[in-house]
Amino acid sequence: MANVNLIRSYHSFLILEKALSDNTVEAYMSDIEKLLSFSEQSAFKVEKARYKDLQNFVKKLGEEEVSNSTIVRVVSSVKSFYRYLYFEGVIKEDPSLLLESPKVGKHLPDVLSVEEIDKVIAAVDMSKTEGQRNKAIMETLYGCGLRVSELISLQLSDIYRKEGVVRIIGKGNKERLVPISKTALREIDIYCEEARSRLSIKPGYEDFVFLNRRGAQLTRVMIFTIIKNAVEASGLKKNVSPHTFRHSFATHLLENGANLRVIQEMLGHASITTTEVYAHLNSKMLRDTVETYHPRAKG
């Protein structure tokens, strides 16, 4: 059994030093739990693991028919864990140094056409109290290319109307400015005036843009459900999730001629390499890109 304090200190390291999001930390720790479980079954301590032990662990994951993409993530988590142990002086050699992941093909999520985006949004039941909110949510996902976690955390005070941008706190608490389409802004305004203003908002949630019926923050699951219901109502036969809107946002910009580097800045992505990060781009350049290339630009 691994040293419990060791696991706790690694958990703290991910939160405090790496500044990873809650979801990422949870994924890392879940992967290390898999390793811990395997080490107990195979009678070795994780802090004394050899390269062969880790090889057998990856092989076991494959035998359990775990997807290649999941194995790649687990291997990445294991490597991170052993790098931490090595730099902390817990181990003298890193047994994961040569550990390899299975090759994973580049799989891209479905992309919706502008017509399909319109069809899904048009399928929102506007007779329901939450109809305008749900419409505004989808326009914001598509108009800004946000992650679900960023959408549900969006604050009214983070919307800069004059500049046409929203302030987003993304992964690792990194801040960025993202242009917001005129269409998304209009739908948010209608929602705030018609539905949000009638809510009894709970203390602490006054600044959140999108709220549930009880006046509190929406959850990730609720956003997935909203999208799922709209897609079913539209009759669209595609696997659509909130990320589909984000991916469609980026794809439509790229297809219409926008610069890939600018798109990556708006999405909050780091460089493909581990040593280079994209240069900071000012908000005017980002806004001009959306106004020139995004299908919703003219509102």
Active site residue ranges: 147, 171, 243, 246, 269, 278
- Angle at the Cα of 265 from the Cα atoms of 106 and 253, rounded to 5 degrees: 70
CB 141 within 8 A of CB 247: no
- Angle at the Cα of 241 from the Cα atoms of 255 and 22, rounded to 5 degrees: 105
User: How far apart (Å, rounded) are the C-alpha atoms in residues 29 and 96?
Assistant: 17
Q: Sign of the CA dihedral 84, 90, 93, 99?
A: negative
191 burial class (0-12, 13-18, 19+ CB within 10 angstroms)?
Answer: buried
Residues 6+ away with beta carbon under 8 Å from 256: 293, 294, 295
Residues 6+ away with beta carbon under 8 Å from 27: 73, 77
